């Protein structure tokens, strides 16, 4: 079974409503003809309404960058999955390494957020990945397997089937240092094997695996041509419409 490529842009803490709208205008124009891949962008919360309005009927979906596990309540500064869905988001990023390392998200928090995403009717992009110290210690596969095990524990099959997993080695995020296509493929094959060992065959055949970490227009084709890399989660290079367009083009 062939999986449809999926390219997502994580804008992180960039682009307030005015700049986000300007970027969305450019994306709508440049991505008018991107039928070969699913495409999504994840602006900051405050810019979601502008981007969602601008990208209506463009075929480019919108994602939240994070969500709180609860539906509503006294959680100052937080946004729930239900709110993201009501705003018009289709996807949400869960467990990004910056949430884990800078905001204290544990594997258990990530698991709760993953369940909250499904509860709200959102499609989660679950991020996993090892640090450089963990890779140097030969623990990369074990770390990623552990992150998957806690996040997916007890998740019903129909939800697992809707998952996107983004492998983002922490040492490659925002560093300009990309995993080589062979390194990335090795981990993606490992993730697919992990899924194969635990779920019916349709799961590893269906679940899309994105690579993230310093993906650019020039390295995208090499990464995306690997058999187990189904897409990319792009940070810095998604902030410019042309480079994001070129990455989308490399996928299809
Ligand atoms: P960069 O592409 O800027 O390295 O960021 C990757 C990332 O963290 C996407 O979520």
Instruction: Using pLDDT thresholds of 50, 70 and 90, give the confidence band for residue 252.
Output: confident
- Residue 146 placed within a domain: yes
Buried b (16+ CB within 10 A) or exposed e, 107-130: bebbbbbbbbbbebebbbbbbbbb
Q: Whose CA is nearest to atom 1 of ligand 1?
A: 235
Tokens of 223: 């990464």
Give per-residue pLDDT as tens, 149-187: 999 999 999 999 999 999 999 999 888 888 899 999 999
CATH (domain of 186): 3.20.20.70
- Residue 53 placed within a domain: yes
Ligand 1 centroid from CA 3, angstroms: 22
Ligand 1 binding pocket (C-beta < 6 A) is 10, 96, 168, 173-174, 212-215, 233-237
The percent of residues in the chain predicted with pLDDT above 90, rounded, is 94
- Residue 1 placed within a domain: no
- Residue 115 placed within a domain: yes
Expressed as residue numbers, the domain containing 168 is 6-251
Give per-residue pLDDT as tens, 76-117: 999 999 999 999 999 999 999 999 999 999 999 999 999 999
Closest CA to 148 of 102, 78, 98, 203: 203
Which pLDDT belongs to residue 67?
Answer: 98
Which pLDDT belongs to residue 107?
Answer: 94
Catalytic residue chosen out of the listed positions 96, 98, 130, 188:
96
Whether pLDDT at 46 is above 70: yes
Whether pLDDT at 43 is above 80: yes
Instruction: Using pLDDT thresholds of 50, 70 and 90, give the confidence band for residue 1.
Output: low
**Average model confidence (pLDDT) across the chain:** 96
Ligand 1 centroid from CA 55, angstroms: 22
Which of 8, 9, 12, 223 most suits a substitution to test ligand 1, by most atoms within 8 Å of the C-beta?
A: 12
Which pLDDT belongs to residue 248?
Answer: 97
Which pLDDT belongs to residue 33?
Answer: 80
Tell me the three-class secondary structure of 92-103, residue by residue: EEECCHHHHHHH
The pTM for the full model equals 0.97
Whether pLDDT at 34 is above 80: no
Which atom of ligand 1 is found nearest the CA of 96? 10
68 is catalytic: no
Q: Whose CA is nearest to atom 9 of ligand 1?
A: 235
Ligand 1 centroid from CA 216, angstroms: 10
Ligand 1 centroid from CA 168, angstroms: 8
- Residue 44 placed within a domain: yes
Split into its structural domains, the chain has a count of: 1
Q: Whose CA is nearest to atom 7 of ligand 1?
A: 235
Instruction: Using pLDDT thresholds of 50, 70 and 90, give the confidence band for residue 32.
Output: confident
Ligand 1 centroid from CA 213, angstroms: 5
């Amino acid at each position: 079974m062939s999986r449809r490529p999926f390219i997502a842009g994580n804008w992180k803490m960039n682009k307030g409503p005015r700049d986000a709208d300007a970027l969305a205008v450019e994306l709508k124009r440049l991505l008018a003809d991107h039928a070969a891949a699913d495409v999504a962008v994840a602006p900051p919360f405050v810019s979601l309404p502008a981007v969602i309005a601008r990208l209506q009927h463009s075929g480019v979906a919108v994602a939240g960058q994070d969500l709180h596990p609860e539906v509503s309540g006294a959680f100052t500064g937080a946004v729930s999955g239900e709110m993201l869905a009501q705003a018009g988001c289709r996807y949400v990023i869960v467990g990004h390494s910056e949430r884990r390392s800078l905001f204290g998200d544990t594997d258990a928090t990530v698991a709760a957020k993953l369940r909250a995403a499904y509860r709200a009717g959102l499609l989660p992009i679950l991020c996993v990945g090892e640090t450089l110290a963990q890779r140097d210690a030969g623990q990369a596969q074990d770390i990623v397997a552990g992150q998957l095990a806690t996040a997916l524990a007890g998740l019903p099959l129909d939800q697992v089937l809707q998952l996107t997993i983004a492998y983002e080695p922490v040492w490659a995020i925002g560093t300009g240092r990309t995993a080589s296509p062979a390194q990335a493929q090795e981990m993606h094959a490992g993730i697919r094997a992990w899924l194969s060992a635990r779920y019916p065959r349709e799961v590893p055949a269906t679940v899309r695996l994105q690579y993230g970490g310093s993906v650019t227009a020039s390295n995208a084709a090499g990464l995306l041509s690997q058999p187990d890399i189904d897409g990319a989660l792009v940070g810095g290079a998604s902030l410019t419409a042309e480079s994001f367009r070129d990455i989308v083009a490399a996928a299809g």
